[in-house]
Amino acid sequence: MSLIRPLAIRALTLVFVLFAVLLLLVITLGATGFSDRLLNAVVSEEVRGLRQSLSQTIRDPDELERTIEVRRQELVEFYDLDQSWVRRLPDTVFRVVKLDLGEARTLKSFDGSRRVSDIVLDRLPNTALLLTTSLVITAVIGLLVGPRLATRVGSKADRAVSYFSAVSFAMPTWWVGILLILIFAFKLNLLPSGGMYSTPPPADGFPRFLDLVKHAVLPVLTLVLVSVGPYIYGVRTLTMNVAQEDHVMLARAKGLPDSVVERRHILRVAAPPIVTGLILGLAGSLSGSILVETIFNWNGMGRLYFEAVSGSPDESVIVALTFVFTLLYVAARFILEVLYVFLDPRVRYT
């Protein structure tokens, strides 16, 4: 019970941050006239659908236009378009939270729906699959290699990994993705160059899962290559600093095995900053997924973002994705707060 209250306070604080960002976003949209254009687009879309349905029953053009105009005025009053954007501010915030942003201009969901919420929620699992897989692989490699390098500072392996970390950090994500496509898809013809499934896709079941895994190899490998180097170096630096502390020297003097010293006396102490870098790296990799998903034609939120801003911008989809990305960041921060309690017993929330 002693931890529930401070964690609840942290959760409320992060929710406040989320709504503060959302409020700033909505104020910006209102001041620039975007909210007016968004609602006008919603009204126009509903009027267009009404025109198509009524044109089958009302043959008189004048009567059809009068009926449509009456309905247009009702929609204008319903969405408060006859009021200033400031008075619509609370309603606009609530609509963004619910992803109730009407219909997209050109984008559609996988089942053909043009509702913004359907489009975004269709792509969310695909991005989660890509990012969580690369995160797990990066974490495993970093935790296996980093602590061992910390005990071999200055060795050939340590210098080689340091050079690799610098190169990995400097490599642009889009360049790595294109390079992997050229090598594994066109030169060696081992893996597909893009997409999530073959054409035509396999039937449901294990063959479809294997086809998805085959298509996910290159985008996951791209994300791992650009993130694993800096993460290994970060884990190595943190564990190296801890390995020089007195309690580690005492454990070694007692004759404890290296594996026990590494696991209980080094990694356990260095765990909070290591996990911090990993979780915040996941939140930061959301921006990198835009390029990776676009290059590999992976139908996730990153590619959706690119589709929404390219050509004729789809503002409602951009707003929805911005809110979802912010929500994911806040969720990652709260997970980090919870993990701190279990990883570091020295932490005491007040």
Which CATH number characterizes residue 188's domain? 1.10.3720.10
Q: Which of 156-160, 187-191, 304-308, 342-346 has the lowest mean pLDDT?
A: 342-346
Chain segment 147-171, per-residue pLDDT in tens? 888 777 778 888 888 888 888 888 8
Q: Which residue has the tokens 């898809």?
A: 185
Output DSSP code: residue 256. -
Q: Which of 114-128, 276-290, 335-349 has the lowest mean pLDDT?
A: 335-349
Output DSSP code: residue 346. T
Binned at pLDDT 50, 70 and 90, residue 91 comes out as: confident
> pLDDT at position 348, please?
52
What mean pLDDT comes out for the span 276-290? 72
What mean pLDDT comes out for the span 122-134? 88
> pLDDT at position 284, please?
65
Considering the domain architecture, whether residues 172 and 260 belong to the same structural domain is answered as yes
Q: Please give the Cα distance from 108 to 99 (Å, whole number).
A: 15
Q: Please give the Cα distance from 79 to 166 (Å, whole number).
A: 53
- 180 versus 101: the higher-pLDDT residue is 180
Asked whether residue 339 carries a pLDDT value surpassing 80, the answer given is: no
What mean pLDDT comes out for the span 203-212? 84
> pLDDT at position 195, please?
87
Considering the domain architecture, whether residues 33 and 172 belong to the same structural domain is answered as no
**96 falls within a domain:** no
- 163 versus 284: the higher-pLDDT residue is 163
Q: Which of 37-46, 141-150, 179-188 has the highest mean pLDDT?
A: 179-188
* Domain end position, chosen among 65, 90, 115: 90
Q: Which of 137-146, 226-235, 238-247, 284-293 has the lowest mean pLDDT?
A: 284-293
Asked whether residue 349 carries a pLDDT value surpassing 60, the answer given is: no
Considering the domain architecture, whether residues 70 and 127 belong to the same structural domain is answered as no
Q: Please give the Cα distance from 163 to 51 (Å, whole number).
A: 65
Asked whether residue 283 carries a pLDDT value surpassing 70, the answer given is: no
**98 falls within a domain:** no
Please tell me whether residue 260 adopts helix, strand or coil conformation: helix
Name the amino acid, one letter, at 284: G
Q: Please give the Cα distance from 225 to 131 (Å, whole number).
A: 13
Residues of the chain with pLDDT > 70: what percent?
A: 92
Q: Distance between the two ends of the chain, CA-based, in angstroms? A: 14
- 312 versus 116: the higher-pLDDT residue is 116
Provide the residue range defining the domain that includes 167.
Answer: 123-343
Alpha-carbon distances, residue 56 vs 62, 67, 129 (angstroms): 14, 13, 46
> pLDDT at position 181, please?
93
Q: Please give the Cα distance from 329 to 336 (Å, whole number).
A: 11
Binned at pLDDT 50, 70 and 90, residue 340 comes out as: confident
Q: Considering the chain, what is the average pLDDT of its residues?
A: 80
Chain segment 27-81, per-residue pLDDT in tens? 777 776 766 776 777 777 777 777 777 777 777 777 778 888 888 888 777 767 7
Considering the domain architecture, whether residues 45 and 184 belong to the same structural domain is answered as no
Chain segment 291-331, per-residue pLDDT in tens? 888 899 998 888 888 888 876 677 778 878 888 887 777 77
Considering the domain architecture, whether residues 192 and 298 belong to the same structural domain is answered as yes
Q: Which residue has the tokens 């932490």?
A: 347
> pLDDT at position 178, please?
92
Asked whether residue 234 carries a pLDDT value surpassing 80, the answer given is: yes
**100 falls within a domain:** no
**192 falls within a domain:** yes
Considering the domain architecture, whether residues 256 and 202 belong to the same structural domain is answered as yes
> pLDDT at position 287, please?
63
Considering the domain architecture, whether residues 77 and 135 belong to the same structural domain is answered as no
